[in-house]
Amino acid sequence: MKRVFNFSAGPSMLPLSVLERAAAEMTDANGTGQSVMEMSHRSKDYKPIIENAEALLRELMGVPSNYKVLFLQGGGSLQFAMVPLNLGAPNAAGRRRASYVDTGVWASKAAEEAARFMDAKVVASSKDRAYAYIPAAPAPDPQDAFYHITLNNTIVGTKWSKLPETGSVPLVADISSCILSEPLDVSKFGLLYAGAQKNLGPAGLTVVIVREDLIGKAAAETPTMLRYDIHAKEGSMYNTPPCYAIYVLGLVLEWMKASGGVEAMGKRNLEKAAVLYDYLDSSRMFRCPVDKEFRSLMNIPFVNGDAELEGRAVKEAAAADLVNLAGHRLVGGLRASVYNAMPREGVVALVDFLKRFEAANGR
């Protein structure tokens, strides 16, 4: 069997033990004589699978009891529309308004989509320096329905080092690329959302965690399938949920719990990221373009500036079983995504490779 270290931004690596367990249960899950893929989502065999996934997510993230956990589809991208449709209720002056902080491509996509449904103001942006930092967050307008941030910026490799204070205005965060990567106080947020394919499991599942009092204010024209109140009332079973992805999520969360939970993940991710950042800070060939204070633990971009050399590094790394290191086309260079399932050995192997490459191509 061959396994590579996969530095893809998503879909990305899953723990080997999770894949092996899913493989072992592929044709006969838990003595049912069926694959989870074949089970009715309303069957007594499937019920404990979705309940286990939700219970573990609540436990590991410390989700307070006044929050709903929803298992939806459509990726982080569909939340760019669902959030404004559901949370963008008119204020006292009858206006639908929200604030967005533009910290990169996903953040600006979220704001653009929201602008289709409401007055979505971009109140701060770090575009002036190619998103290499997180801008100071202006105080929220108390008339706003919510305040949206992208907690970890997958493409440029930044993260909010400190949450903005938004008072009574609900803070909404896209946590697609950092969910469960380190401890997070859910009670500070009105709503959190994440596509599963980066840190939670296979693509096709989107997790939404939303405070109950924010549910039920959807704009009248909101399609049924896009309404949080419907999904909440039906326990994420208004229609067929992504059953198999939810099952794998449960396995990933069991692995995470056995590995020490989110505190241990955070510690491990800090150590892993430090291995690569320490190398980059001492390298004469590559540098990380992000301001130190805002460096992501999950997505680490690095550049040289010579596209030919960068391309060769990506190719030679792949030949050494270190795959998917090409940077996003907007940033160029290389990017290593080191989500929870990337073992420390993978990052060490990458740094060893980069040192060899630098020595061989010294300039």
Ligand X SMILES: *Cc1c(COP(=O)(O)O)cnc(C)c1O
Q: List the catalytic residues.
A: 106, 174, 198
- Candidate ranges 171-179, 274-282, 284-292, 321-329; the one touching ligand X (CB under 6 A): 171-179
∠171-173-216 over CA atoms, to 5°? 65
Q: Nearest approach, Cβ of 238 to ligand X (angstroms)?
A: 20
User: Taking the CB of residue 94, how many other CB atoms lie within 10 A of it?
Assistant: 6
195 near ligand X, judged by CB under 6 A: yes
Q: Nearest approach, Cβ of 77 to ligand X (angstroms)?
A: 3
Site string for ligand X, 115-154 (x = CB under 6 A): -----------------------------------x---x
Q: Nearest approach, Cβ of 177 to ligand X (angstroms)?
A: 4
Contact 267, 109 (CB under 8 A): no
Which residue of 12, 13, 75, 156 would you call a contact of ligand X, by CB under 6 A? Answer: 75
Number of residues that bind ligand X (CB under 6 A): 11
- Candidate ranges 172-180, 244-252, 275-283, 325-333; the one touching ligand X (CB under 6 A): 172-180
Mind giving me the DSSP string for 259-270? TTHHHHHHHHHH
Which residue of 54, 102, 113, 174 would you call a contact of ligand X, by CB under 6 A? Answer: 174
Q: What residue has token string 């309940």? A: 51
Of the candidates 153, 79, 72, the residue with the CA atom closest to the CA atom of residue 117: 79
Which residue of 10, 140, 157, 164 would you call a contact of ligand X, by CB under 6 A? Answer: 10
Q: What residue has token string 């290593």? A: 336
Q: Nearest approach, Cβ of 320 to ligand X (angstroms)?
A: 26
Structure tokens at 184: 């997070």
Give burial (CB, 10 Å; 0-12/13-18/19+) of 65. Answer: exposed
Query: Rule CB under 6 A: which of 81-120 touch ligand X?
Result: 106
Alpha-carbon distance 326 to 187, whole Å? Answer: 37
Contact 15, 252 (CB under 8 A): yes
Residues that bind ligand X in the complex, under the rule CB under 6 A: 10, 75-77, 106, 150, 154, 174, 176-177, 195
